[in-house]
């Protein structure tokens, strides 16, 4: 299928490049480094070969979110966004951008989001999970002081992509001796799904009904647990923390506020299950370049056992509707 739009595709700047140099990539690091740092003709040729018309590009992870000094986070986010804008300006017909945001400082994040949407013509933001506070603790975005950020995102019609990172080190004891589960294998989805549920369960989308959130990797395992999540909350009557604060079942938000992408999860069975639960109107194609192979992603998607109508929706129409590209 030609004309696909891919929207979890990454680049790096010098200050964030080392975040991606993980042991699992050591044997291919030279190639990976080049792919992260240079969006040149090679990437366009690869896009052409794979039928990808537009890449919506974002900073690698955890990058800005891992910087504990708020001032440094602000500076790196601004530098990354300027570098991305320069790249897009060379081929605005093929590249668009997600803003990197220093959510360690909500006020500064609002200012940067506004700049990116108005001045740089970005299409939304992508944030790599919780932000690291100066004391090393995790800042989750259901905290009250993030309310102005959510209000601005809604006002600007700026979709928010909640991208993964591993849990804080202090919470990783259950991975001892089994660190192979960290990252894309399991840890990313576990951390991101909890964060997403915190946001939904806080009543975020009741307060901001037009706000849109995106989850990668076919929903970080959440679509397949929605029935159980809602069923448990339906019969609980104990006041306090054991009942979420949202006005509606969590499943409802997947029909109105939450989108998922195929990034890094090229399973036809999982795609069909997601379509049966949340519908093809809330799913978008992505690859997770360069951490996943673009050719593998597109070969799988183009041959997936879905109708041509659904393939067109997921491959490009849903993204065009959400981002107006």
Q: pLDDT band at residue 35, thresholds of 50, 70 and 90?
A: confident
Cα–Cα separations (whole angstroms), residue 200 to 154, 164, 183, 251: 15, 17, 23, 10
Cα distance between residue 191 and residue 321, in whole Å? 29
Q: Model pTM?
A: 0.96
Domains, the chain, with CATH or none: 4-323 (3.20.20.140)
Q: What's the mean pLDDT in 169-189?
A: 88
DSSP 316: I
Residue partners of 269: CB distance under 8 A and separation at least 6: none
- Of 19, 105, 288, 310, the active-site residue reads 288
Short-list 263, 315, 292, 266, CA closest to 35: 292
259 within 8 A of 318, measured Cβ to Cβ: yes
82: annotated active-site residue: no
Q: How far is CA 166 from the centre of its chain?
A: 14
* Arithmetic mean of pLDDT, 62-76: 98
Distance (Å, rounded) from C-alpha 61 to C-alpha 132?
13
Question: What is the average pLDDT value for the chain, to the nearest integer?
Answer: 94
DSSP 296: H
The pLDDT tens digits of the residues spanning 280-321 come to: 999 999 999 999 999 999 999 999 999 999 999 999 999 999
For 129-171, how does the pLDDT look when each residue is reduced to its tens digit (9 = 90+)?
999 999 999 999 999 999 999 999 999 999 999 999 998 877 8
Handedness of CA 201, 204, 207, 209 (dihedral sign): negative
User: Cα–Cα–Cα angle for 290, 26, 87, nearest 5°?
Assistant: 30
User: Residue 169: what pLDDT?
Assistant: 79
Examine the pLDDT at 240 and tell me if it is beyond 80.
no
Q: Residues near 72 by Cβ (< 8 Å), separated by ≥ 6?
A: none
- Residue pair 201/248 in contact (Cβ under 8 Å)? The answer is no
pLDDT mean over 246-250: 94
Could you give the CA distance from residue 125 to residue 123 in angstroms, rounded to a whole number? 7
Q: Does residue 279 surpass a pLDDT of 70?
A: yes
pLDDT of res. 239: 62
Tokens 């042991």 correspond to: 23
d(CA 316, CA 225): 27
Q: For residue range 262-275, what is the model confidence (pLDDT) as tens digits? A: 999 999 999 999 99
Percent of the chain with pLDDT over 90: 84
> Whats the size of the chain, residue-wise?
325
């Amino acid at each position: 299928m030609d004309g696909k739009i891919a929207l979890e595709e990454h680049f790096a700047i010098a200050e964030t490049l080392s975040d991606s140099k993980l042991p699992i990539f050591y044997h291919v690091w030279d190639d990976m480094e080049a792919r992260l740092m240079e969006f040149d003709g090679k990437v366009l040729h690869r896009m052409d070969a794979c039928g990808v018309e537009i890449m919506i590009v974002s900073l690698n992870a955890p990058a800005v979110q891992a910087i504990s000094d708020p001032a440094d986070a602000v500076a790196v986010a601004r530098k990354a966004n300027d570098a991305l804008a320069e790249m897009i300006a060379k081929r605005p017909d093929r590249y668009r951008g997600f803003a990197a945001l220093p959510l360690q400082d909500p006020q500064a994040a609002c200012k940067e989001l506004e700049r990116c949407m108005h001045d740089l013509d970005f299409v939304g933001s992508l944030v790599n999970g919780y932000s690291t506070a100066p004391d090393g603790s995790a800042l989750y975005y259901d905290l009250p002081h993030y309310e102005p950020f959510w209000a601005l995102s809604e006002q600007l019609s700026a979709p928010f992509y909640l991208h993964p990172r591993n849990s804080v080190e202090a919470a990783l004891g259950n991975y001892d001796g089994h660190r192979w589960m960290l990252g894309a294998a399991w840890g990313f989805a576990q951390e991101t799904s909890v964060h997403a549920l915190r946001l939904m369960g806080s009543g975020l989308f009741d307060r901001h009904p037009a706000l849109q959130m995106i989850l990668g990797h076919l929903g970080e395992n959440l679509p397949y647990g929605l029935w159980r999540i809602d069923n448990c909350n339906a019969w609980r009557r104990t006041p306090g923390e054991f009942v979420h604060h949202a006005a509606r079942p969590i499943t409802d938000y997947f029909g109105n506020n939450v989108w998922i992408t195929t990034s890094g999860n090229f399973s036809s069975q999982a795609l069909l299950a997601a379509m049966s639960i949340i519908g093809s109107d809330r799913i978008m194609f992505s690859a997770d370049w360069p951490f996943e192979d673009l050719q593998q992603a597109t070969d799988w998607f183009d041959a997936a056992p879905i109708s041509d109508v659904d393939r067109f929706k997921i491959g490009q129409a849903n993204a065009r509707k959400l981002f107006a590209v």
